[in-house]
Amino acid sequence: MRGCLPRELRIRLYNDVVALRRCGLMYKGIIEEVWRRYGVRLSKSSISEWLRGIHSPYNGRRIPSLEMLEPSEELAYVVGVVLGDGYVGKKSRVRKGYNDVMIDLEAKDREFVEEFGRCLAKVLGRRPIRPRYVKSSGRYVVEVRSQTLYELLRKPVDLKRLKKYIEHCERCVAAFLRGFADSEGSVDKRGYIYIYNTDLRLLIYINELLRRLGIELTGPRISVQRGTVIHDPRTGKQYMAKKDCYYIYIRASSNANFYKYIGFTIKRKQQRLEEYIRRITRRPKSLPPNFSHPTSPHLSS
Ligand SMILES: [Zn+2]
């Protein structure tokens, strides 16, 4: 109901509700008084949401401000994904009194989009957001409107504003890196991990965080220069790179740490990494030179 009232009216109702509460009225009394003044019957739950600051007609947000956003692994994951593939922006569809600010992710791996939806829901205190399948593109989409997350994540990215969420604790750092690697990482057939991005500053930061978790890497190095014509094998089309693109490469000796601390949500990436780990742990190559097997009758011939 609240959503259908003009915003100006909702703001007046809101101010009255807050004032009446301050005067000591209970919910029932507030409802009656508002009904008497405006002929509008508010529900207990909307009054409660207003009074607890979960919602206010001033901003139309579920979380009123950035200050109320708590660090969590879920938020760190969302930040990682959005800094990579995710989209943050204003959509042209404008409704009265609202800015349509969207956070969305579109990707072909269902489990990735699902995880993004789960984390978003947790952060925003909403019911689980289930991905929508877009038949024409064969991709899954999760989309939410959130002014607060828009302010936090709009591009160009402000790392200073994000650091307290990303670096809250080691688990948050790992969740952030997982989100970014799900977005921008790839694992080749040999099991080697590369992470790509056009923002050099961001990759240098990612580099620093990975090292903190004991993961060694090479780069950032330039992979595609601006103006290069690229052939996309998936679509068969050619296009011109608009920006320089950089990559970092995880040293193979750190793959095990990457797997242990970070890993991928995307199954096909995680599987290749697992295959790699299985291969190297099976191979006895890494034995020290002086290593000798315990003498066994079968070995000594
Ligand atoms: Zn944390």
Q: Measure 53 CA to ligand 1 centroid, in angstroms.
A: 24
Q: Measure 186 CA to ligand 1 centroid, in angstroms.
A: 26
- What is the mean predicted confidence (pLDDT) over 165-173? 96
Beta-strand runs (E) in the chain: 87-90, 101-107, 132-134, 139-145, 185-187, 193-197, 217-224, 229-232, 237-240, 245-250
Split at pLDDT 50, 70, 90, the class of 18 is confident
Q: Measure 22 CA to ligand 1 centroid, in angstroms.
A: 36
pLDDT value, residue 293: 44
Q: Measure 83 CA to ligand 1 centroid, in angstroms.
A: 18
pTM for the model stands at 0.72
Q: Measure 71 CA to ligand 1 centroid, in angstroms.
A: 6
Neighbouring C-alpha atoms within 13 Å toward the C-beta of 163:
7
pLDDT value, residue 77: 97
Q: Which protein residues have their CB within 5 A of the ion that is ligand 1?
A: 168-169, 172
- Per residue in 204-215, pLDDT (tens digit) is 999 999 999 999
Q: How many angstroms separate the CA atoms of 77 and 178, rounded?
A: 7
Q: Measure 110 CA to ligand 1 centroid, in angstroms.
A: 26
Q: Measure 169 CA to ligand 1 centroid, in angstroms.
A: 4
- DSSP state, residue 252: G
Q: Measure 112 CA to ligand 1 centroid, in angstroms.
A: 21
Q: Measure 225 CA to ligand 1 centroid, in angstroms.
A: 36
Question: Looking at the predicted structure, is the pLDDT value of residue 291 above 80?
Answer: no
Q: Measure 109 CA to ligand 1 centroid, in angstroms.
A: 26
pLDDT value, residue 295: 42
- Per residue in 89-129, pLDDT (tens digit) is 766 554 444 456 788 899 999 999 999 999 998 898 778 88
Please, which residues have CB within 8 angstroms of residue 160's CB and are 6 or more apart in sequence? none
Q: Measure 271 CA to ligand 1 centroid, in angstroms.
A: 27
